[in-house]
């Protein structure tokens, strides 16, 4: 029988399990042998590969993290590592591979495709930072986790009339920061995509807010900007408003996936296997204009998306 390998690579994200499950179940449904590969490309190189059954993905649809585990695999960035991976795929009779991860993971998949393995990428990252896709699995869950945390921080900021500075994940992208900023009414959102000046873009809106009667403030700092502690110290020094920094950290990567992430994972996982069923490889699954589509892998890796300027403007108006 034709066989599909499935792995998760790079940073983990809630909904990866739902995607694994979708690949395994649809793969078996269409007559494939499906093999799980542990710890990303490390497992491919080391032969940490096992056959999966319909039941091996029972009770995981609601679980965060990834049951296949994930890793960053430095050797896979070298031609030698790619060749080792391709050789091990042959040992296990894998003719195709579904890679759930980010841009970096898709680059590895592309290199592997040069060795005759049909690869399909599924976007999985909380950061939503994949150029070809409007949406990545895990993003909605992370947004909700950050929203929940910020609502709690707001309670205490109100009680103490403080300025709360929250640093959120997103790597070089500000999608989490901007959207939670809107959802939670942040006064200031610092995004890696936009240059800012401390006085004009942080201090001035806080002071103007105070003059209009505000008594507590929320500042969101995206990971790609960083330095939340320094930002809080500086705000307190200049304005005299007591300020506290919170770096949310890895809590953002865990938790039970939301409906949106589970359903998207299901649709993307099935689409990936459908392509392989039709003998098509070297594609990345993406969401475009709200629909699940697939894009040639080189083309997908070239694509860029911008943060929405209208949304940035809107976040400023809503926090007046």
State yes or no: 266 annotated in a binding site: no
Give the β-pairing of 291-296 and 283-288.
antiparallel
Task: Count Cα atoms within 13 angstroms, Cβ side, for 205.
Answer: 22
d(CA 45, CA 212): 61
Taking the complex as a whole, how short is the minimal distance between the CB of residue 228 and ligand ADP, in angstroms?
Answer: 23
Residue 64 DSSP SS3: coil
Tokens of 34: 């499906």
Does the protein bind ligand ADP through residue 316 (CB under 6 A)?
no
Among positions 2, 72, 260, 305, the unique one binding ligand ADP when judged by CB under 6 A? 72
Burial-class residue 58 by CB neighbours within 10 Å (0-12, 13-18, 19+): exposed
- Of 127, 129, 140, 294, which is the active-site residue? 127
Does the protein bind ligand ADP through residue 85 (CB under 6 A)?
no
Site string for ligand ADP, 112-151 (x = CB under 6 A): -------------x--------------------------
Does the protein bind ligand ADP through residue 105 (CB under 6 A)?
yes
Q: Which is nearer to ligand ADP, 137 or 184 (CB)?
A: 137
d(CA 14, CA 39): 16
Question: 140 an active-site residue?
Answer: no
State yes or no: 260 annotated in a binding site: no
Tokens of 121: 């990428």
State yes or no: 288 annotated in a binding site: no
Does the protein bind ligand ADP through residue 107 (CB under 6 A)?
yes
d(CA 23, CA 16): 11
Q: Which is nearer to ligand ADP, 125 or 258 (CB)?
A: 125
Q: What is the DSSP string of 77-97?
A: GSHHHHHHHHHHHHHTT--EE
Taking the complex as a whole, how short is the minimal distance between the CB of residue 114 and ligand ADP, in angstroms?
Answer: 11
Q: Which is nearer to ligand ADP, 102 or 255 (CB)?
A: 102
**Number of residues this chain uses to bind ligand ADP (CB under 6 A):** 17
Tokens of 48: 């940490």
Nearest Cα residue to 124 out of 167, 49, 85, 68:
68
d(CA 112, CA 116): 7
Among positions 3, 8, 9, 66, the unique one binding ligand ADP when judged by CB under 6 A? 9
State yes or no: 210 annotated in a binding site: no
Q: Which is nearer to ligand ADP, 164 or 264 (CB)?
A: 264
Which positions are annotated as active-site residues? 127
* Binding-site positions for substrate: 125-127, 162, 169-171, 223, 244, 250-253
Residues that bind ligand ADP (CB under 6 A): 9-11, 41, 72-73, 76-77, 101-105, 107-108, 111, 125
């Amino acid at each position: 029988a034709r066989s599909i390998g499935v792995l998760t690579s790079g940073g983990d994200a809630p909904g990866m399990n739902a995607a694994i499950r979708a690949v395994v179940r649809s793969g078996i449904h269409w007559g494939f042998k499906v093999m799980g590969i542990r710890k990303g490309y490390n497992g491919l190189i080391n032969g940490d590969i096992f056959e999966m059954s319909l039941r091996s993905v029972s009770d995981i649809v609601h679980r965060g993290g990834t049951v296949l585990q994930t890793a960053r695999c430095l050797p896979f960035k070298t031609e030698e590592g790619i060749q080792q991976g391709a050789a091990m795929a042959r040992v296990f009779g894998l003719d195709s591979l579904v890679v759930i991860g980010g841009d970096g993971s898709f680059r590895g998949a592309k290199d592997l495709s040069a060795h005759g393995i049909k690869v399909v990428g599924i976007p999985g990252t909380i950061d939503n930072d994949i150029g070809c896709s409007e949406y990545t699995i895990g993003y909605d869950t992370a947004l909700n986790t950050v929203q929940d945390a910020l609502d709690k921080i707001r309670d205490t900021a109100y009680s103490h009339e403080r300025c709360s500075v929250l640093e959120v994940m997103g790597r070089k992208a500000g999608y989490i920061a901007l959207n939670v900023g809107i959802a939670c009414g942040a006064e200031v959102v610092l995004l890696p995509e936009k240059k800012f000046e401390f006085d004009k873009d942080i201090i001035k809106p806080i002071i103007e807010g105070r003059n209009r009667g505000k008594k507590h403030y929320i500042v969101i700092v995206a990971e790609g900007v960083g330095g939340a502690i320094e930002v809080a110290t500086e705000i307190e020094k200049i304005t005299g408003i007591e300020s506290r920094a919170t770096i949310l950290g890895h809590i953002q990567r865990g938790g039970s996936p939301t409906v949106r992430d589970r359903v998207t994972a299901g649709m993307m996982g099935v689409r990936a296997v459908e392509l392989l069923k039709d003998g098509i490889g070297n594609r990345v699954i993406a969401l475009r204009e709200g629909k699940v589509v697939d894009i040639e892998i080189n083309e997908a890796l070239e694509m860029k998306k911008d943060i929405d300027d209208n949304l940035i403007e809107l976040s400023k108006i809503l926090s007046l």
